[in-house]
Structure 1
Amino acid sequence: MGFYDFRCAVTGISLRGIDAVLVGLRPVGDRYRPLTLGIAGKYNRLGSIDRIEEDPHTDLVAEYFHRRARAGDFVMDPGYADDYGNPPRDIEKLLAYFERNVSDSSEEHPAATLFGRRVFSTLVARPVWTALAPAFAPDGGTYETWYEELFAESAETEEMYRDLIRELARHIEELSAVNGFLDSRGLAWSIPGDDEIGEQHFGPEMRQYLDAARSEFHDVPAVLEALTDYEQRVGDLLDD
């Protein structure tokens, strides 16, 4: 498969040519819930991100999955080992396994499982994430209570982050803001649908998605500002 383009999980704008924030997801019943905090990078036109902004948070994620792989709890399809490593060679390759579960797997033939369940990823356009974080910051509470609300009953996340929760306060607040915004709009965490897999976005499609987002979120100044920022950043692509 060649290049393909996903859309922002919050606004639906194209991610082509833009930075994005990836959130690992776990299935909970018929819904998805965050498994990781946000990881920032550049959309790679392969359903994930590269040029990842590595920090103690990304180190914790990579170390956790390496540890689970060594214990036999994170199991990867050997067909991807040449490309990504087994265990994954770095955080970028780890996230590629998450993406393969979105684009190229099934319950019967998963790309990677953690304790027998597939791990997925979703992407939010960086300008949107950056705008929502302060505009919808949690009203009251502490980073500990926000963390509990985000990751209730996730033993995986507890093991992943338990040693550095205080140091991750900014990441926790940002994810809590985006999660709260989704809740306020009656939206849920989601992964791309089958009809989006393999799709390339060009100027007309990108403008269509942008116009639709402006209409959908006409009442949210922070999102409208983010969409203007996005339009300036991908202006050349909107004309291709």
Structure 2
Amino acid sequence: MGFYDLRCAVTGISLRGTDAVAVGLMAAEDAYRPVTLGITGCYNRLGSIDGIEEDLNTELVFAYFSRSARSGDFIMDAEYADAYGDPPRDVEALLGYFERNVSDSSEECPAATLSGRRVFSALVARPVWNALADAFAPAGGTPETWCGEVFGDAPEPEETYRGRHAELVHHIRALTAVNRFLGARGTGWSLPDDGETGGQHFGSEMREFLDAARARFQNVPSVLGALDAYAGGVGELLEDN
């Protein structure tokens, strides 16, 4: 498994050289719906994140999938057991299984399934995530109603976070903001196209993606500010040809 670079699920900028927020996704009807709150770390150039900021959210997510593995509801392909463990060794390894479902699996040969369905990950550049969380935070409602809005009636997040919503307000508010932004733009949550996995991004591609994002979000000041912050953080890489 060699290095490869993904693009931000909201803006399309390269994740090379930046922190990112991972969200677990599962298919729901004809779309994808989050099944975890956001997990923050450094993009690892392998389609996922490392250096994860561990907190109550990561503790609950890891505990849920560990229980599901022991009960036989979360099943992992033995091919990846040496790399990630069976059950997963930690939350970083768990996200590794989600990533393998994005880049190296099919319905017939899944890397990992929960109750028979694959679990994927979507990555959002951290500057973009933070900007949307601030600019589009829900003004009314409760953590419980926001979870209902984002997760619907999916049993997985209900079991993961039951009774802990008040302690996760910051995470829930942020995910709700990003989810609403994607919904308002008619894009929703998505996975990379087949051609977007496997290659590395260099300066010319990174600048191209950044220019396209600035054009696409020219009327969204919060996103433009995030793109400027991103550009400042990866400045040297933008010149790497």
Give me the TM-score of the superposition, normalised by structure 1. Answer: 0.99
Matches within 5 A, 1:10-25: 10-25=10-25
SS across alignment from 1:190: coil
Gaps of 5+ in 2: none
Does residue 188 of structure 1 match 2:192?
no
How many residue pairs match? The answer is 240
Which aligned pairs between 1:57-206 and structure 2 lie closer than 5 A? 57-206=57-206
Query: Which secondary structure does the structure 2 equivalent of 1:24 belong to?
Result: strand
Hey, what's the Cα distance between the residues in 1 that align with 2:74 and 2:3?
A: 27
Moved over 2 A (4+): none
Deviation, 1:74, is 0.2
How does the TM-score come out when normalised to structure 2? 0.98
- 1:55 maps to 55
User: What is the CA-CA distance between 1:185 and the residue it aligns to?
Assistant: 1.1
Q: Distance in 2 between matches of 1:152 and 1:51?
A: 30
Whole-Å separation in 2 of the counterparts to 1:181 and 1:16: 23
1:165-196 per-position Cα deviation (integer Å, ceiling 9, x unaligned)? 11011100000000111111111101111001
Secondary structure of the residue aligned to 1:41 is strand
| 1:10-59 Cα shifts (integer Å, max 9, x gaps) | 00000000000000001012210001000000000000000000001100
Identity over aligned residues, as a percent? 67
CA deviations on 1:88-146 (whole Å, 9 max, x unpaired) are: 00000000000000000000000000000000000000000010101001132122211
Aligned counterparts of 1:2 and 1:8: Cα–Cα separation in 2: 20
Gaps of 5+ in 1: none
Corresponding residue for residue 227 of structure 1: 227
- Give the Cα–Cα distance (whole angstroms) in 1 for the partners of residues 145 and 197 of structure 2: 36
SS class of match (1:229): helix
CA distance in structure 2 between the partners assigned to 1:152 and 1:215 by the alignment: 33
| SS of match in other structure, 1:174 | helix
What does residue 29 of structure 1 align with? 29
Aligned-residue CA RMSD (Å): 0.6
